[in-house]
């Protein structure tokens, strides 16, 4: 049944979403890998944290060559994580606890074990089976050179040569990520229809939306021309504007179709794009009213932790999306980048940054474990599993360091994460002080701070951002007026303490501050929320 659009703000326009890296959240089966039943058992924790929704990283059938971002069947659950019944139970229990559920959609590529790709390898060049992927003849004598100069985001060339049925070296296929992740050809209507079938499959089961993996990558430039920026790519360092692999105009048509599909389920199902597109206007084009609802604004995650850089990142993002009438989706951490507490230089900085982010207008995504202030882990080489480690010839450690399973309780690994002797990645012994259990009982812990921030945000914060001018050098501040009470956020990312003249009442602070109702003393790398007098 069609719904009638109303103009009111939807839940997602100011939601806080907890990203759960499924392998690392909670294990119920005892194999050392997190799973759906483990996540279900921890829903009370998420509800108490105060988030509105949970985004679950891929749970689909997969050989796990890129930990689930290599999907062999997008409409089946990998036994590693549970069953379809677990998904149904997760959705029902989450909804019962007031939480929405977003799944992770991986449309750019499949696993090499997807039946489609198995069929493509067995079929001849030019066949319908090959046409679902990007198979091309090689260049040079004998087709020995890759079809173009594109690299893989994970290191090395972006093409792999196959052996044809007659045993001879044959065509090449494109994989912008690992060789186990062949790129689909999004100019193929069969590929488009299949993704829509996947969307419906999960929407019919009651899920609230999707985080769309590599949302800027699906459509490639016609003719697959050489890359004018042929340097080594990493996910967050490649130039997106002008590259033939990324941010091609044709991708917008895909999202217009998906938006119509989601809208047919009512106004509350949501698409969130993973969009590594730097130019704010080009980024905003993806969240026009008839495309994705939301898209991660990685500008803030990538900004240096200074007042000037944050002001620029926040201001540019807000200005660009305001022009299309969409909110900005803030994010400071995920399973692809080093943990915030290490990236920003200290747990204090991560506390300040999270408090500041949560005072911005629009939705925010929190990466599970950042609310505990977990640092990046230097995973011993023998335990590293991220394909980046192998493909970089052991020069780039990869992303395992931000994926170490969460410490829940107890004083030694595996800290209540699993009943197995060890988790799939080893946890540092020093995490004994950072467990959920330890932080629950500590009023000054990062967990209690984030929980408090979410409660205050829900109760008070609303309205647009207005910058505070005239603050001391290196300090950034803004007002939010329009919620149930005005709130002023002041962020001191510098290494020095500062005094700020500000009349009001202290609401929350990331560190011990001094305040007499008129002068706020902010220690180094700290943030405070005030309610103006
Ligand atoms: C996205 C995911 C990342 C994955 C890649 C390939 O960027 O966040 O973890 O490796 O896509 O699917």
Tens digits of residue pLDDT in 89-118: 999 999 999 999 999 999 999 999 999 999
Question: Torsion over CA of 10, 15, 19 and 25, rounded to 10 degrees?
Answer: -110
Task: Using DSSP, state whether 233 is helix, strand or coil.
Answer: coil
Name which residue sits closest to atom 12 of ligand 1, judged by CA.
69
Residue 177 in contact with ligand 1 by CB distance below 6 A? yes
Any residues with CB less than 8 A from the CB of 214 and at least 6 apart, and which? Answer: 106, 107, 108, 109, 176, 274
How long a stretch of residues is the chain?
533
Q: How confident is the model at residue 329 (pLDDT cuts 50, 70, 90)?
A: very high
Burial of 123 (0-12, 13-18, 19+ CB in 10 A): middle
Q: Is the dihedral of CA 259, 262, 268, 272 positive or negative?
A: negative
Whether the per-residue pLDDT at 3 is higher than 90: the answer is no
Residue 371 in contact with ligand 1 by CB distance below 6 A? no
Name which residue sits closest to atom 7 of ligand 1, judged by CA.
214
Residue 268 in contact with ligand 1 by CB distance below 6 A? no
> β-pairing, 73-77 with 487-492?
unpaired
- Whole-angstrom Cα distance, residue 402 to residue 387? 14
Per DSSP, the residues of 291-326 read S-SEEEEHHHHHS-SSHHHHHHHHHHHHHHHHTTT-
Distance from residue 92's CA to the centre of ligand 1 (Å): 28
pLDDT tens sequence across 500-520: 999 999 999 999 999 999 999
Terminal CA-CA length for the chain: 49
Residue 129 a catalytic site member: no
pLDDT tens sequence across 452-473: 999 999 998 889 999 999 999 9
Any residues with CB less than 8 A from the CB of 420 and at least 6 apart, and which? Answer: 27, 30, 31, 32, 414
Distance from residue 212's CA to the centre of ligand 1 (Å): 10
Residue 456 in contact with ligand 1 by CB distance below 6 A? no
Phi and psi at 490, nearest 5°, equal -125, 125
Q: What is the pLDDT of residue 9?
A: 82
β partners of residue 145: 139
Residue 88 a catalytic site member: no
- Whole-angstrom Cα distance, residue 147 to residue 135? 9
Q: What is the pLDDT of residue 344?
A: 97
Distance from residue 241's CA to the centre of ligand 1 (Å): 19
Residue 235 in contact with ligand 1 by CB distance below 6 A? yes
Mutate to test the pocket of ligand 1, among 112, 276, 301, 336 (most ligand atoms within 8 A of CB): 336
Mutate to test the pocket of ligand 1, among 62, 64, 66, 385 (most ligand atoms within 8 A of CB): 66
> β-pairing, 209-212 with 169-174?
unpaired
Indicate which atom in ligand 1 lies nearest the CA of residue 336: 9
What is the b/e burial string over 431-461, where b = at least 16 CB atoms within 10 angstroms of the residue's CB? bbebbbebbeeeeebbbebbbbbbebbeebb
Task: Using DSSP, state whether 283 is helix, strand or coil.
Answer: helix
Q: What is the pLDDT of residue 236?
A: 53
Q: What is the pLDDT of residue 391?
A: 87
Among residues 274, 371, 386, 400, the one annotated as catalytic is 274
Residue 60 in contact with ligand 1 by CB distance below 6 A? no
Tokens of 402: 């931000």
Q: Which of 111-115, 320-324, 357-361 has the lowest mean pLDDT?
A: 320-324
Indicate which atom in ligand 1 lies nearest the CA of residue 177: 6
* Mean pLDDT calculated for residue range 526-533: 92
Q: How confident is the model at residue 5 (pLDDT cuts 50, 70, 90)?
A: very low
- Whole-angstrom Cα distance, residue 215 to residue 161? 26
């Amino acid at each position: 049944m069609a719904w009638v659009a109303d103009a009111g703000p939807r839940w997602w326009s100011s939601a806080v979403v907890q990203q759960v890296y499924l392998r690392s959240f909670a294990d119920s089966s005892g194999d050392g890998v997190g799973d759906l039943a483990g996540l279900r058992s921890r829903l009370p924790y998420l509800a108490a944290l105060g988030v509105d929704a949970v985004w679950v990283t891929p749970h689909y059938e997969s050989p796990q060559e890129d930990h689930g971002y290599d999907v062999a069947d997008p409409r089946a659950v990998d036994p590693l994580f549970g069953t379809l019944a677990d998904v149904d139970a997760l959705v029902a229990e989450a909804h019962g606890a007031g939480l929405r559920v977003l799944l992770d959609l991986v449309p750019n590529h499949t696993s090499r074990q997807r039946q489609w790709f198995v069929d493509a390898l067995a079929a001849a060049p030019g066949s319908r089976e090959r046409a679902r992927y990007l198979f091309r003849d090689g260049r040079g004598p004998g087709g020995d050179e890759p079809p173009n100069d594109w690299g893989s985001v994970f290191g090395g060339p972006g093409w792999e040569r196959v052996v044809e049925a007659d045993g001879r070296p044959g065509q090449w296929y494109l994989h912008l990520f690992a060789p186990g992740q062949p790129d689909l050809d999004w100019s193929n209507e069969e590929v488009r229809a299949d993704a829509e079938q996947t969307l419906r499959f999960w929407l019919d089961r009651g899920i609230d939306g999707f985080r769309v993996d590599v949302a800027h990558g699906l459509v490639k430039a016609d003719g697959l021309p050489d890359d004018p920026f042929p340097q080594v790519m990493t996910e967050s360092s490649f130039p997106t504007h002008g590259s033939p692999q990324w941010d091609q105009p044709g991708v917008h048509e895909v999202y217009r179709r998906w938006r119509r599909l989601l809208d047919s389920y009512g106004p509350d199902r949501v698409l969130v794009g993973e969009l590594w597109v730097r130019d704010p206007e080009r980024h905003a084009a993806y969240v026009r009213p008839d495309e994705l609802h939301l898209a991660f604004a990685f500008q803030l995650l990538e900004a240096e932790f200074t007042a000037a850089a944050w002001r620029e990142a926040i201001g540019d993002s807000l200005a660009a999306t305001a022009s299309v009438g969409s909110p900005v989706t803030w994010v400071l951490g995920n399973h692809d980048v080093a943990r915030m507490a290490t990236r920003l230089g200290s747990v204090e900085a991560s506390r300040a940054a999270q408090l500041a982010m949560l005072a911005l207008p629009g939705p925010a995504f929190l990466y599970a474990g950042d609310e505990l202030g977990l640092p990046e882990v230097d995973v011993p080489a023998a335990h590293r599993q991220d394909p980046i480690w192998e493909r970089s010839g052991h020069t780039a450690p990869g992303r395992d360091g931000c994926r170490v399973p969460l410490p829940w309780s107890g004083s030694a690994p595996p800290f209540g994460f699993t009943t197995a002797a060890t988790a799939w990645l080893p946890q540092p012994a020093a995490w004994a002080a950072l467990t959920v259990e330890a932080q629950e009982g500590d009023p000054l812990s990062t967990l209690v701070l984030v929980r408090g921030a979410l409660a205050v945000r829900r109760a008070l914060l609303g309205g647009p951002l207005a910058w505070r001018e005239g603050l001391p050098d290196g300090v950034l501040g803004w007002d939010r007026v329009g919620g149930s009470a005005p709130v002023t956020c002041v962020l001191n990312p510098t290494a020095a303490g500062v005094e700020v003249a500000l009349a009001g009442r202290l609401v929350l602070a990331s560190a011990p501050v001094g305040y007499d109702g008129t002068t706020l003393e902010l220690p180094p790398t700290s943030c405070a929320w005030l309610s103006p007098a």
